[in-house]
Amino acid sequence: MRLHIQPQLGTVALRDISPAVLRGYIATLESELSPRYARQIVGSLSNIFETAIDDKRLARNPMRAKSVRWPKAREDQRDAWPLETAQRVRDARYRIAVVLALGCGLRQGEVFGLSPEDVDFARGVLRIRRQVQLLGGCLYFTLPKGGKTRVADMPPSVAAALARYLMEYPAVEVGLSWDGPEPDRETKKFPLIVTTTYGNALRANIFNVEVWKPALAAAGVIPLRKKDERWKASRKDCFHVLRHTYASVILEVGESVVTLARWLGHSSPTITLDYYAHFMPEAGGKGRGAIDALPGRPALAA
């Protein structure tokens, strides 16, 4: 809304947002943004129009006009690391952050916002209730992506590593504004598992330069930098690759897409399939085996 809807359409009356206006607006989005992100923005705008219809401010949704073509999101497969690579990076620096992302599929901001209050050791789950985000140089708490909390599976090995970590490094209470960096926002405090050495919430930009990229270099993923040279790492080697690697491991051992979608916090298993179907090379094998095991199989095959 703030970045891509209000600046372009915020001063236009609802009744004046015609299909022609939207065609030009969508063309601008497609020229500046990825198809998937542009489609998310258009979807949000369409939801606003639907609300206006409910409130009797509009008679119809202009986004549904036949001449208005939504950005088409291309097949967007995710790349994963070999598990050995992820383990080498895990052993380099900030081990527990990597363990949480690799072992439970957490996003970076969710790792930074995780509290001991969110850990259920008895049930073996994490309650993902918040993330730490950075905007305009200011940190703040907000809900996980999509505005929804979720429950993620926590394998016993992750639980054991987390318990050991908390014994050695107790959580530190951190206060940040909620749902935005503006000074008038309500401040909330949570004990955070992963913080800086000074007891502050982690900043993604600083973490990525001072912790993540040196860990990649130590693990041999990217070359060591020369003095005064900037780190060189491709987008596929960002922290988020740990989440993709988690998904690849889960699917390759035969877990259901529906379950993985729930653990990852995807709004639909379809999204999970779009991203990760290529991690299921043996899909269909169980079905073939079940058919072959039916009584009278030779007659069935005949």
* Per-residue pLDDT reduced to its tens digit, 7-45: 989 899 988 999 999 999 999 888 887 777 888 888 889
For 88-102, what is each residue's pLDDT tens digit? 888 876 799 999 999
Distance CA 140, CA 182 (A): 9
Asked whether the predicted pLDDT for residue 191 surpasses 80, the reply is yes
| Cα separations in angstroms, 100 against 67, 104, 108, 256, 302 | 46, 6, 9, 21, 51
Candidate CATH numbers 1.20.59.10, 1.25.10.10, 1.10.443.10, 2.70.150.10; the one for domain 83-252: 1.10.443.10
195-210 average pLDDT score: 94
Residue 87's pLDDT is what? 86
Q: Where are the domains of the chain?
A: 6-64, 83-252
Residue 287's pLDDT is what? 43
Least confident of 109-118, 149-158, 223-232: 223-232
For 164-177, what is each residue's pLDDT tens digit? 999 999 999 999 99
Structure tokens at 137: 């140089």
Distance CA 147, CA 129 (A): 9
For 248-274, what is each residue's pLDDT tens digit? 889 888 888 999 999 999 888 878 887
Q: In which region does residue 254 sit, left (phi positive, over 0), alpha (psi from -120 to 50) or beta (all else)?
A: left
